[in-house]
Amino acid sequence: MTESFSVLVVDDEPAFREGLRQALKQEGFIVHLAADGEEALEVWQTYHPDIVLLDVMLPRMSGIDVCRKIRAADDTPVIMVSAR
């Protein structure tokens, strides 16, 4: 990869976040992490990642609500992930 892309990984499961962080970092991505919906919006506003990997079920604010807020402000791609 000649250009570094940034990814925001949002999941309340620490092992899942860390696993994705390691895999993405190994591939050359800049990785930002968040454990809940409110933190996700804070990190998104601070770093403006190129893409967001977003769990549907999160504490403090659902992934659906986070996605709506991101979509209302920006066209950042969002991939929703779920254990369901």
* Residue 4 CB partners (closer than 8 Å, separation 6+): 28, 29, 30
Give CA–CA dist 68/61, Å, rounded.
Answer: 11
Give CA–CA dist 66/74, Å, rounded.
Answer: 12
Query: Is residue 3 scored above 90 in pLDDT?
Result: no
Q: What is the pTM of this model?
A: 0.93
Give CA–CA dist 76/19, Å, rounded.
Answer: 23
Task: Report, as an integer, the average pLDDT of 31-57.
Answer: 98
CATH superfamily of 6-81: Response regulator (3.40.50.2300)
Query: Is residue 35 scored above 90 in pLDDT?
Result: yes
**83 pLDDT band (50/70/90 cuts)?**
confident
E runs forming strands in 11-50: 30-34
The three-state secondary structure class of 54 is strand
